[in-house]
């Protein structure tokens, strides 16, 4: 007896229903789909993939390309795992598998992507860490491989993308610190040509100028997006002449916050008392003392939207997700903490 | 001109040398190999994968299967990313790519693995989170798919594995806390049938009994391996009658430590002062106050050994790694901190 027939008998539904449920067709109730998927998993039922691939010309695999390497994620990742969770929840509806494609920071992302595409085991791709100009976007578009970018880029082929609202973080962060009396406001930027750095710094500069504060390049602190980078920024701040130092700081990367707190403490500067910080929410940051004022978004929801927006562009799935080409900036919510107190020790 | 010929001309070496370097043959110096790889990446050179696959019957992809889902890694992962870094460093020598296969915690790992194998895009697998009895091991052995397990299991087909020294952590942890006057020593164990829980608890029990201390099942605290789990353990400890509470604790999972500290603090118990903790090193834990006494190993080195031990069992690679079938318990180093001070507030 074939697996699909056995499943239908066990569940007392038709073979057609099982097939439609397994193939993610819309005319199956969520409850039935769930029962079929669970029973299939329990029975270890594997659709004949080779047959499916030949018929559909697909592999059933979606790749998520992210950068790895000790300078990027070597000390742990607190962002992507939650995003993956959301992506997986959507792909599971269609029996698609998510594989994570780790591009080492020592490797050229363009060459890596070309190799992955040549290996031919992914139907579609999610790319992240988009650069100011990103050749991967041209490459995938030319080859007509469905993809979505997590992050904007000046390279624009009319492709779908989602990005965090770096403009909003810059604006809200600057407005908030200025309202609390700060005039020398520092900011983090990535060390490379990741697009988000440009977007953030442009908006930060505009927000400052709106308050009549001149942009000072010495207040932009670049580092790798990890804990050690945060610690070094703390030390660099402490080493500046007191009248040149920032009195407040905006961080858009969650990996730096714990290190920045520690770096400042180690140099005798107390976050929240001597120095104001607005950062990004993460599991780590929520245990900081004083409590971090931070920008929050649900990373799982971001993953869900990424996957649904990708499927919306893929033949065979688009009908379930009539979203068009999604190009959206996702807003973040400010959670008030105690780390961005008013300026108490004005510089000499 | 073919890519390989262009590479050879650019580097002024023979086509054979380029080919041997790209294919990870041993008769090419490390320096030449590096030059070739860099030039290949810079030129965006992609070997004709379809041709390679047909000739070699391989895909050039190694899969690393890990569990995902918000209860496992949804709040960030501080272990696997560093391991991947080491695995990748080895695979890059042979132009093999690492893909991470995320098995959702809601899915049956056996069914998931069968599906991945059926999709046919990995040459070899690294599996993790091995269970007491693990069907994946039988399955891969039957299908003659090269694999290595990160974690031991009672299911033994003579396959290669690496595992952390949970026995050593139990023994060193108990001996150290007993020497500091503790008799009621709590321990963390996973909530499911992951093998490491059994190994650790057996050794913990033996170590206690060697000191004439009876095993008390109430001192085993089970939870999901995440921050929230650690926080809940802290609350559970605080809710126990003072004379039934543990006075010290051993944690073998790095994801729980920050939560446990916070949970205890929130209930008025001060880690390091009222309560002794020995934990696992991680980026997060190194910023704890008081400094955590913890077990450390290089996760990158663990990844390197995993990959080399896997390649040692694969045709075409084994000759470069004459290691036989590696089955090794990897020791950890104790780093002294201030979190496991002597018992200062003996229970009433």
Q: Do B76 and A74 touch (CB under 8 A)?
A: no
Please answer whether residues A208 and A215 qualify as being in contact, where contact means their C-beta atoms are separated by less than 8 angstroms.
yes
**Residue B49 and residue A120: Cβ atoms within 8 Å?**
yes
CB B39 within 8 A of CB B94: no
Confirm whether A71 is domain-assigned: yes
A91 → chain B, closest CA residue = B104
- Answer yes or no: do B244 and B256 share one domain: yes
8 Å CB contact of A262 and B110: no
Last residue of a domain, one of A272, A297, A322: A297
* Whether residue A207 sits in one domain with residue A228: yes
pLDDT of residue B49: 44
**Which chain A residue has its CA at the smallest distance from B86's CA?**
A69
| Mean pLDDT on B273-295 | 88
Among A81, A310, A25, smallest CA distance to B105 is for: A81
What is the per-residue pLDDT for A97? 92
Question: Closest to A81 (Cβ–Cβ): which among B47, B76, B112?
Answer: B76
In sequence order, the 6+-apart residues with CB closer than 8 A to the CB of B206 are: B170, B171
Q: Kindly state whether residue B243 falls inside one of the protein's structural domains.
A: yes
Let me know if B108 is exposed, middle or buried by CB neighbors in 10 A (0-12, 13-18, 19+): middle
Please tell me the predicted confidence (pLDDT) of residue B73.
62
**CB contact residues (below 8 A), chain A span 147-166, against chain B:** none
Give the dihedral sign, CA A331/A336/A342/A345.
negative
Contact call for A97 and B101, based on CB within 8 A? yes
Name the pLDDT band for B1 (thresholds 50, 70, 90). very low
Give the pairing of strands A185-190 and A248-250: parallel
Distance from CA of B65 to the nearest CA of A (A): 10
Q: Is A138 on the interface with B (CB under 8 A)?
A: no
Contacts of B249 (CB under 8 A, 6+ apart): B185, B186, B187, B188, B237, B260, B275, B276, B277, B278
Does the CB of B181 have a partner CB in chain A at under 8 Å?
no
Same domain, A171 and A292: yes
Q: Are A70 and B78 in contact (CB under 8 A)?
A: no
Which helix (DSSP H) or strand (DSSP E) does residue A147 occupy? strand A147-150
With beta carbons under 8 A apart, name residues in chain A contacting B45: 111
Nearest chain A residue (CA) to B287 = A262
**What is the phi/psi pair of residue B19, to 5°?**
-60, -45
Identify the H or E element spanning A116.
Answer: helix A109-119
The distance of A207 to chain B (nearest Cα, Å) reads 32
Tell me how far apart the alpha carbons of residues B233 and B231 are, in angstroms, rounded to a whole number: 5
Number of domains in chain A: 3
Domain that holds residue B27: 3-47
Q: Are residues A114 and A222 in the same domain?
A: no
| Per-residue pLDDT band at B30 (split at 50, 70, 90) | confident
pLDDT of residue A268: 94
Would you place residue B346 in the very low, low, confident or very high pLDDT band (cuts 50, 70, 90)? very low
- The band of B345, judged by pLDDT with boundaries at 50, 70 and 90, is low
B279 lies in the same domain as B172 = yes
Contact B76 A77 (CB under 8 A): yes
A22 in any annotated domain = yes
What pLDDT was estimated at residue A13? 82
Is residue B129 within 8 Å of residue B112, measured between CB atoms? no
Question: How far is CA A193 from its chain centroid?
Answer: 17
Pair (B99, B220) in one structural domain: no
**Over chain A (348 residues), what is each successive 10-residue block's mean pLDDT?**
69 78 70 75 54 58 88 71 91 92 89 90 95 97 96 98 98 97 96 93 98 97 90 96 95 89 93 95 79 94 97 94 97 96 63
User: ipTM for the complex?
Assistant: 0.79
Chain A contacts in chain B segment 186-225 (CB below 8 A): none
CB pair distance less than 8 Å for B46 and A114: yes
Question: Over the stretch A76-114, which tens digit does the pLDDT of each residue have?
Answer: 677 888 899 999 999 999 989 999 999 988 889 999 999
Q: What CATH number did the domain enclosing B171 receive?
A: 3.40.50.2300
At residue A43, the pLDDT reads: 63
- Do B287 and A259 count as a contact with CB atoms less than 8 A apart? yes
B94-147 residue pLDDT tens: 989 999 999 988 889 999 999 889 888 899 999 999 999 999 999 999 999 999
Same domain? For B321 and B303 the reply is yes
What is the rounded average pLDDT for all residues in chain B? 88
Interface of B with A in 297-326 (CB under 8 A): 300
């Amino acid at each position: 007896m074939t697996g699909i027939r056995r499943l239908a008998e066990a569940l007392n539904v038709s073979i057609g229903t099982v097939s439609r449920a397994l193939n993610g067709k819309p005319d199956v109730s969520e409850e039935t789909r769930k029962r079929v998927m669970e029973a299939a998993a329990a029975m270890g039922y594997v659709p004949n993939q080779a047959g499916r691939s030949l018929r559909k010309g697909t592999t059933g695999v979606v790749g998520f390309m992210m950068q790895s390497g000790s300078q990027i994620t070597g000390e742990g990742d607190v962002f992507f795992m939650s995003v993956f969770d959301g992506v997986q929840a959507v792909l599971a509806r269609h029996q698609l598998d998510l594989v994570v494609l780790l591009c080492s920071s020592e490797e050229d992302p363009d060459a890596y992507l070309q190799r992955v595409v040549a290996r031919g085991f992914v139907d579609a791709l999610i790319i992240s860490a988009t650069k100011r100009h990103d050749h991967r976007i041209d490459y995938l578009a030319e080859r007509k491989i469905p993809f979505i970018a997590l992050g904007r880029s000046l390279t624009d082929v009319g492709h779908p993308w989602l990005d965090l609202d770096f403009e909003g973080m810059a604006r809200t962060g600057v407005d908030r610190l200025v309202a609390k009396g700060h005039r020398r406001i520092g900011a983090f930027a990535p060390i490379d040509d990741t697009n988000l750095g440009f977007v953030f710094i442009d908006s930060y500069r505009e927000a400052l100028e709106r308050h009549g504060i001149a942009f000072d390049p010495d207040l932009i602190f670049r580092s790798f997006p990890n804990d050690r980078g945060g610690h070094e920024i703390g030390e660099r701040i402490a080493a500046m002449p007191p009248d040149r130092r920032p009195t407040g700081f905006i961080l858009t990367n969650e990996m730096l916050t714990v290190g920045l707190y520690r770096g400042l403490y180690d140099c005798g500067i107390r976050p929240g008392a001597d120095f104001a910080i607005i950062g990004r929410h993460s599991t780590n940051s929520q245990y900081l003392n004083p409590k971090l004022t931070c920008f929050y978004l649900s990373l799982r929801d971001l993953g869900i939207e990424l996957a649904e927006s990708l499927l919306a562009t893929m033949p065979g799935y688009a009908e379930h997700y009539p979203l068009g080409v999604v190009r959206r900036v996702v807003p973040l919510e400010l959670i008030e903490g105690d780390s961005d107190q008013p300026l108490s020790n004005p510089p000499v």
